[in-house]
Amino acid sequence: MSDKTAGGEPAQGWMLYMLRSADSRLYTGITTDLGRRLEEHRQGGRRGAKALRGRAPLELVYNCAFRDRSSASVAEYRVKQLSRIMKERLVAGDISLQTLISDDESENGC
């Protein structure tokens, strides 16, 4: 059985995630398999983000589900444009991702 839908998108959807490194940097990315991607970052090899190498330990501080890659990419771009203060407010739950993207993009209103 395939993990993709007829349109080629992953069956479980896309996730936007934010990691905090040991030096308190925030990293934002998207993936279809959060557990796998977090492990890739933690191992630090070719598949992990260069920005996170040598910055262990990494802590997952935020994640949000999306219907498709396009929606997740739009949200990722908008989060990456935020100031550090606004990113911290998002992580803390003081603001929602819905305030940054249109209401129909996110699956669960996170």
Walk me through the domains of the chain, giving residue ranges and CATH numbers.
14-99 (3.40.1440.10)
* Average pLDDT of span 66-89: 96
* Average pLDDT of span 27-54: 91
Q: Which DSSP helix (H) or strand (E) runs through 85? A: helix 84-92
Is pLDDT of 85 > 80? Answer: yes
Is pLDDT of 103 > 90? Answer: no
Token pair, residue 108, equals 């669960």
**CA Rg, the chain, in Å?**
14
Q: Which DSSP helix (H) or strand (E) runs through 77? A: helix 69-80
Q: State the pLDDT at residue 2.
A: 36
* Average pLDDT of span 71-81: 96
Which residues sit opposite 31 in a β-bridge? 15
Q: Which DSSP helix (H) or strand (E) runs through 19? A: strand 14-20
Q: State the pLDDT at residue 104.
A: 54
